[in-house]
Chain A
Amino acid sequence: MAVKVAGRAASAGPARHGGQPEPAEFIQLLTPEGERVDHPDYPLDISADEIRALYRDLVLIRRIDFEAIALQRQGELGIWASLLGQEAAQVGSGRALLPTDMAFPTYREHGVAWCRGLDPTKLLELFRGVSHGGWDPKAHNFHLYTIVIGSQTLHATGYAMGIQRDGAVGEDGEAVIAYFGDGATSQGDVNEAFIWASVANAPIVFFCQNNQWAISEPLERQSRVPLYLRAHGFGFPGVRVDGNDVLACLAVTRKAMQAAREGQGPTLIEAFTYRMGAHTTTDDPTRYRLAAELETWKLKDPVERVKAYLVRTNSADEKFFAALDAEAAQVGARIRKSCLEMPDPDPRTMFENVYAEPNALLESERDQYLSYLDSFEEDAR
């Protein structure tokens, strides 16, 4: 901490009004020790079955993430953006959505993708370099991964404006959730999205996973105020939730989405969490952060606290955990197999889907390139 304070003083001058977020002012329903706590604004009536289901999501998505990192290390993926540490934020918010809601992810929302029913293999396609995404967003109401930071928040806002024009706000209404990170809050597009959504009173929830790090830059390089407080300046509510608490993320997102569906406009949710791994597999966090920080956050692990709750309350037995371990192994093996079996795309597909209508230039480039390729085969014969 002393290092950070010194860094601030050197580069940004003395903090006038709270450069660092205040300690742990957030909505929490399950403590790191696995104890249920209540919050007057976010009552959550949830069965043991439902909590077990959430735990299953958390375990399986962590396993998928683990498998993907391994595949990258073995040269099977070009890169992988790990969600380690953010499972609760993604599963909690993802399970708060109705099938009719629309989600706009960044490139790290593997847990949300899982909740929306997208085959994780589709995510691997992108990171293997087989496609730029390529799934049908309409099939799961889960938009394509967006790599340019913050761009998707405007798409999400426009989509929400479309919901309004379709008259789909109110009872049985639809809403949109836009995912982004702490770094993205500095982007013009995100601020413009806040303005548009606010002025239009659009049915949208802005879900910011503040994982404390934008690659190597800590939060104080992005903001001198807690991120959730920014919402007030734009004219809609902001709330900070314990992003490592799946129950709180579920309850807070549910409430915000319902408000949006009913026509009460946007909410900014700041899920206060931690990127336990590297930014991507190309990154080396030891260059910019202390190992001790990670150790502190390990005590707040989003998966372990649910397990502690299930054990503490006798809501799950050894058989349940063993079966889940077996299922996780199976899921891991399945996506590994699909990844290894993924064929490289045919070069001719490069020339497809650039335009809706046939394009003579592309057709000619394709034909010339294919006959160029053929010329090598002829030589080989």
Chain B
Amino acid sequence: MTRLALSKALNEGLRKALENDPKVLIMGEDVGKLGGVFRVTDGLQKDFGEARVVDTPLAESGIIGTAIGLALRGYRPVCEIQFDGFVFPAFDQITTQLAKMRFRSRGNLSLPVVVRIPCGGGIGAVEHHSESPEALFTHTAGLRVVACGDPADAYEMIQLSISCDDPVIFFEPKRRYWDRAEVDTAGGLATALPLSKAKTVASGTDVTVLCYGPMVRTCVAAAVAAGKEGRSLEVIDLRSLSPLDTGTIFESVRRTGRCVVAHEAPVTGGLGAEIAARVTEECFYQIEAPVLRVGGFSTPYPPSRLEEHYLPDLDRVLDAVDRTFNY
């Protein structure tokens, strides 16, 4: 076991993937000498060369479009989109091409492309650098969408995503890049939790709190705080946003009878809405209260001096938990 920051865990995972499969490529803006603006690809170009760790021209549609072509030729490109708000020039290629090629070709073509996107706010950034666009991708058939929440998952999930034959949108919680935890980089992936599975990060009996990415740490802290007040929260890190591990979600909600979904993205039309609908359909006779959502407001992401009001924090999660007991 090694103690690694989340960004370094991703770096180690990428390194493993490059070592294990000569077809794996890394491509993006500033991923080479600079090592990416968050240093996630630090040192990889030096060790694997410019043909495998590619500093691309500054155009996101081009990154994804050429990655599709490379995948058609048998490569497994891992693309970095520098910030969440810059994925939109590539949105066309991702949704009209990357997501649909297997279906269009009736299974003749696979596009094993990973699109890494640092997501979420909390770093005091300017506009377009703090967004959470995951629902746009979970709404798109043909994409796998995942989010890592801690260094150990970051290390394993990036490798599992690269070996996945479907395109994977891989969200990285940018304000957690510097979180450190023990990561087992010696063992293989044989014992890793499958990419499609959610993970219970705190067991509890009173309320199920569903979260992912940057909100995992917040929700675990909320569970600790709630515990001190005698309320037992079960926190589940969804990890896979598409497909959802509904088995794990339903089992927990049926036990606790209450459910709160927390994400940074606006709640309107967000992933929490989808989860609420499904939990209501499947656990209707076991739930004691409506599924409540905690998330960003239905506004554009605000200037950073306001982001502490926008981002759901421990208190807003606990407030939602309290409200589920009001029914």
Query: Is A154 a contact partner of B65 (Cβ separation < 8 A)?
Result: yes
Query: Is B69 a contact partner of A136 (Cβ separation < 8 A)?
Result: no
Query: Is A160 a contact partner of B103 (Cβ separation < 8 A)?
Result: no
B:233-269 near A, CB below 8 Å: 243-244, 246-247
Query: Is A193 a contact partner of B70 (Cβ separation < 8 A)?
Result: no
Query: Is A132 a contact partner of B69 (Cβ separation < 8 A)?
Result: no
Query: Is A148 a contact partner of B96 (Cβ separation < 8 A)?
Result: yes
With A133-B105, A143-B72 known as contacts, the answer to whether A189 contacts B144 (CB < 8 A) is no
Cβ–Cβ < 8 Å partners of A193 in chain B: 62, 65-66
Cβ–Cβ < 8 Å partners of B93 in chain A: 151, 154, 189
Any chain A CB within 8 A of the CB of B186? Answer: no
Tell me the nearest residue of chain A to B62, going by C-beta. A192
Query: Is A163 a contact partner of B57 (Cβ separation < 8 A)?
Result: no
Tell me the nearest residue of chain B to A360, going by C-beta. B243
Stretch at the interface among B5-13, B107-115, B176-184, B215-223: B107-115
Tell me the nearest residue of chain B to A197, going by C-beta. B66
Q: Which of under 10, 10 to 19, 20 to 34, or 35 or more describes the interface residues of A?
A: 35 or more
Q: Which of under 10, 10 to 19, 20 to 34, or 35 or more describes the interface residues of B?
A: 35 or more
Number of A-B contacts (CB under 8 A): 140
Query: Is B105 a contact partner of A144 (Cβ separation < 8 A)?
Result: yes
Any chain A CB within 8 A of the CB of B74? Answer: yes
Q: How far is the CA of A138 from the CA of B110 in the complex (A)?
A: 12
Any chain B CB within 8 A of the CB of A357? Answer: yes
Query: Is B104 a contact partner of A132 (Cβ separation < 8 A)?
Result: yes
Cβ–Cβ < 8 Å partners of B68 in chain A: 154-155, 158
**Residue from A135, A148, A163 within 8 A of B97 (CB atoms):** A148
Binary B-proximity of A38-68 (CB < 8 A = 1, otherwise 0):
0000000000000000000000000000000
B:134-148 near A, CB below 8 Å: 141-142, 144
With A136-B108, A354-B141, A355-B166 known as contacts, the answer to whether A360 contacts B246 (CB < 8 A) is yes
Query: Is A137 a contact partner of B62 (Cβ separation < 8 A)?
Result: no
Cβ–Cβ < 8 Å partners of B66 in chain A: 154-155, 157-158, 161, 193, 196
Query: Is B69 a contact partner of A155 (Cβ separation < 8 A)?
Result: yes
**Residue from A131, A189, A353 within 8 A of B65 (CB atoms):** A189
Pick the 6 closest A-B CB pairs, nearest first.
A158-B69, A154-B65, A162-B73, A158-B66, A192-B62, A356-B165
Q: Which residues of A contact B (CB under 8 A)?
A: 131-138, 143-144, 146, 148, 151, 153-166, 188-189, 192-193, 195-196, 199, 349, 352-357, 359-361
